[in-house]
Every structure is written in C-alpha cells, then in structure tokens.
Structure 1
C-alpha cells in the first residue's frame, strides 16, 4: 500500500510545490497591493495607503507586491523569494519582536510564516508551473537527486 502512495507523492511533489508557491505569492502580493493602492481593505485594514517613499512601510509594500507577483509567476523565483523572506524577517525582528517573545503574543505570526515559507521556496525552487521554465528552459527540478534514483542497499 505504501509503494503506490510513495509513487503518487513523488510524482505530485513538483505540482504541490508549484501550488504552494502560487498561493503564497498571491497572498503576499495582496498585502503589497493593499498597502500601496488601498485595495482589499487598504493599509492597516482601514482603506488607506502607505505614504510613498516612507521607511520602511512603502518599501516593504513594494517588495510584497513585486516579490509576490514574481514568486506567484515563478519568474526569478529563488531570488524573489530570498528578498521576500529577508524583508519579512526584518519586519518580524524590527517591528514585532520588541513587543513580546512569541509571534502569537506580538502579532508577528504572518511575518514569521511568510519569512519561513519564502525561505522554503528558496531551497525547493518553483515547482512544475514556473515561467522560468518557459523563458529559460530550467529543467533542473525534474531531475531526481541521485539518492532517489539509486536503489537502497538495505
């Protein structure tokens, strides 16, 4: 029973990673659009926008919008995810950490989760449905690591 399930999960992994990337990028881009353009509730849920050029809010929102779109599309995925992860780590430690130790106490759950989610994308890559593959022919994700290709000696 586990052999068919392992086979299915191995075949589905690039598609699951792609879906994770698309959803994470879309949600992140929505945060940026909300802060920059006042859509989807606007900045701080009050329909407003972040003042243009204000530090760090406007720059964070620009990274959220651009990084989210790039990650969602799978275009420059690893670089966009790295910048996005770093911006959320910065947000967590500069804004939330001073208030309390735990993210649940300091309101930093989303910053912490985005930081770790984007870091995961840096290491796993874009998955199956990425524009990088269309424009640059990146096929490295389809090649199985040698440890998976070789039968175990056990």
Structure 2
C-alpha cells in the first residue's frame, strides 16, 4: 500500500544524504586544514601522510560529492571502503567492539555510505538534473542510415 510517507521517501533520502555528506566533508576539512577543531586538537595533517592525509582527502572530496549528489553511488562506495579500512586497520586492533576501540564513527559511516550505494542519492541531487538533461537532448540523427537487411 502506498502511503503519504512513501511519497516523501526520496526527499528524506536526499536530506539524509546531504546531512551525512556534510558531516563527512567536515571531518576531511578539519583534518586537512585544521578548521572546525582541526586534526587531533587543532593542527592539520601533513600532506601525503599515509593513511591520514589520504583518508581526509577522501572525506572532503567524497563528502562534497555526496552532498551535491554528484556521482553519489561511486563516491559513497569509495567512502564506505575508506571507513571499513579505518575501522579494521586503525580501530579494530585495539579491541573488537566499536564501543571499546573508538571506531563507532568509522563503522557507522561505513554502513551509511554502503546504504547510499544501493539506494542512490534520493531527490535534490545533481545526478538527477544531469540525467534529465541528457534524456531531453535529441539523439543523433539516424534518418540517413539504411535499415538492416532482413533475412527471409
């Protein structure tokens, strides 16, 4: 049965994507530029430092793409993978439980982005705008092509 809430689903998903992407991008900006509280207490991560600088770059770029709804599924896939890597390489060796090892944000971001891989961006996404434009553009003129021969 189709309810009124079902009609709001694309908008709720779009808002969810925007909020989560913004939070993720803020983590990246904090780490790369030392803003919003900075990396580990106010500084920025030196460029090229493995894995922190690359993770922060993925957070900033991926989060921004997710906020805009541009290449959402691909950006979310990369972001999910980076958070899985963060959890298993950084947090999990300390303890198995995310509550014990401080890996809750990594685990939650990983699953949230994996969900976006499968649901897509929802409404309010640039992907949808570009998809509409490409559908509206006329296809190549094929009136001069000959029809293929049909075997009798």
TM-score for the superposition, normalised by structure 1: 0.84
Number of residues of Structure 1 aligned to a counterpart in Structure 2 = 134
Q: Tell me which residue corresponds to 1:125.
A: 120
Deviation string 1:52-104 (CA, Å, 9 cap, x unpaired) is: 00000000000000000000110000000000000000000000000011101
Q: Tell me which residue corresponds to 2:140.
A: none
Q: Tell me which residue corresponds to 1:14.
A: 10
Q: Tell me which residue corresponds to 1:71.
A: 66
* Deviation >4 Å, runs of 4+: none
2:92 alignment partner, one of 77, 83, 97: 97
Give 1 or 2 for the bigger CA radius of gyration. Answer: 2
Deviation string 1:13-54 (CA, Å, 9 cap, x unpaired) is: 10111011000000000000000000000001x110011000
Three-state SS of the structure 1 residue aligned to 2:3 is helix
Q: Tell me which residue corresponds to 2:148.
A: none
1:111 alignment partner, one of 106, 112, 124: 106
Consecutive unaligned residues in structure 1, runs of 5 or more:
139-154
Consecutive unaligned residues in structure 2, runs of 5 or more:
134-152
CA RMSD of aligned residues (A): 1.4
Q: Tell me which residue corresponds to 2:139.
A: none
Three-state SS of the structure 2 residue aligned to 1:99 is coil
